[in-house]
Copies of this chain bind each other. A is one copy, B any other.
Amino acid sequence: MAEFEAKEQRVVVAVDESEESMYALSWCLRNLISPDTQTTLILLYAKPPPPLYSSLDGTHDFFSGDVIAAMEKYSRDLADSVMKRAESIYKDYTNIKVERKVGSGDAREVICMTVKKLGADMLVMGSHGYGFLKRTVLGSVSDYCAQHVKCPVLIVKRPKN
């Protein structure tokens, strides 16, 4: 009988504020991570890039230092909140090693670059199911990643009910 490969697996799970990404994490833990495998889950959150502002001319500096600091704090708080929600889902799976990574920039680029850099064995993501127009103009993040990363990509859709 052929052997199931019980080697170490590095699985990147892209998480964000959406219910879809939390469902994807939960599905992955329930269905993919066998007790026979040594799995490291890498939770990856991409926070939006820092806000653009002009400081060329003092008179146009309408995003003051305070506002920028507040926006940056909000962004960090959001990342913490996403990671805490994720923790409430994975904390009972004691045989799994979990790492957290927070990148900054466009989610597509952050995800594809991180998967490449880590040499991940699999990428797991939720499917946001954007409407027709947005998907036509921008394409979905999951489609983009499925086309651009080299490892297998699992796209998990959250049931409607």
Query: Does A104 have its Cβ within 8 Å of any Cβ on chain B?
Result: no
Copies in the complex: 2
Residue A98 at the B interface, CB < 8 A?
Answer: no
Report A's interface with B, CB cutoff 8 A. Answer: 1-2, 4-5, 9, 24, 27, 29-37, 92-95, 121-122, 127, 129, 135, 140, 142-143, 146-147, 149-157, 159
A149 to B29, CA, bound (A): 21
Do B152 and A155 touch (CB < 8 A)? yes
Instruction: Using A4-B30, A31-B5, A33-B4 as known contacts, say yes or no to A155 and B155 having CB atoms under 8 A apart.
Output: yes
Contact with A150, one of B121, B154, B159 (Cβ below 8 angstroms): B159
A147–B47 alpha-carbon span in the complex (Å): 25
Chain B residues lying within 8 Å of A156, measured Cβ to Cβ, are 152
| Chain B nearest CB, measured from A71 CB (Å) | 33
Q: Are B152 and A152 in contact (CB under 8 A)?
A: no
CB distance from A130 to the nearest CB of B (A): 10
- Nearest-CB distance from A143 to chain B (Å)? 5
Query: Closest residue to A94 on the B side, CB-wise?
Result: B1
B-side contacts of A143, CB under 8 Å: 143, 146-147
Given contacts A2-B29, A135-B147, A143-B147, 8 further A-B contacts (CB under 8 A): A4-B30, A4-B35, A9-B31, A31-B121, A36-B36, A127-B146, A150-B159, A153-B155
Tell me the smallest distance from the CB of A127 to a CB of chain B, in Å: 7
In contact, A4 and B34 (Cβ under 8 angstroms): yes
